[in-house]
Amino acid sequence: MIKAIIITTFILFANVLLGQNDNAIFQFDKNLNQFHNVRDLCVSESGKEAFFTLQSPNGEISQIATMKKEDNVWLEPELLPFCGAYMYLEPFLSSNGNRLFFVSDRPLYIKQTEKKDFDIWYVDRNSRDQK
């Protein structure tokens, strides 16, 4: 119950920040309610794309997922393609929506496999890919 209140409060706060004019409540319906541990939510300026962290109940697995809104309906969440064997969390979208920042314990170099402390990473996309 407390988790639902926190998520609802954040969603209402996000509405204020996004300045939605249609007075609709920003809701993800059942799509996010199916997961036990959802954290670190960020929403695009258009309000049609969201990024968030999904974690296992014990916090050992942590991945970033995204959801897109089409025809006023949120689609099913999808894991981001770069997520994998390491922990990924705390997504933050740049103001133009083309750069996604996150933290990860992935190694600094591709040939390394040992997890390390958390660093800030980012991925870029072309503006034409943004929804």
State percent of the chain over pLDDT 70.
Answer: 69
Name residue 122's beta-bridge partners.
Answer: 101
Q: Give me the chain's average pLDDT, please.
A: 76
Whether this model's pTM surpasses 0.85: no
Phi, psi for 26 (deg, rounded to 5): -75, 105
Distance CA(85)–CA(69), nearest Å, equals 28
pLDDT digits over 19-43, tens only? 444 444 445 555 555 567 888 999 9
pLDDT digits over 52-82, tens only? 999 888 878 889 999 999 998 888 888 898 8
Distance CA(127)–CA(34), nearest Å, equals 31
Could you please report the per-residue DSSP string of 66-93? EEEEETTEEPPPEE-TT--SS-EEEEEE
Distance CA(93)–CA(102), nearest Å, equals 9
Distance CA(22)–CA(4), nearest Å, equals 23
**Bigger pLDDT: 111 or 46?**
46
Neighbours of 83 (CB within 10 A): 19
Closest CA to 31 of 12, 13, 52: 52
Residue-level pLDDT at 108: 82
Residue-level pLDDT at 123: 93
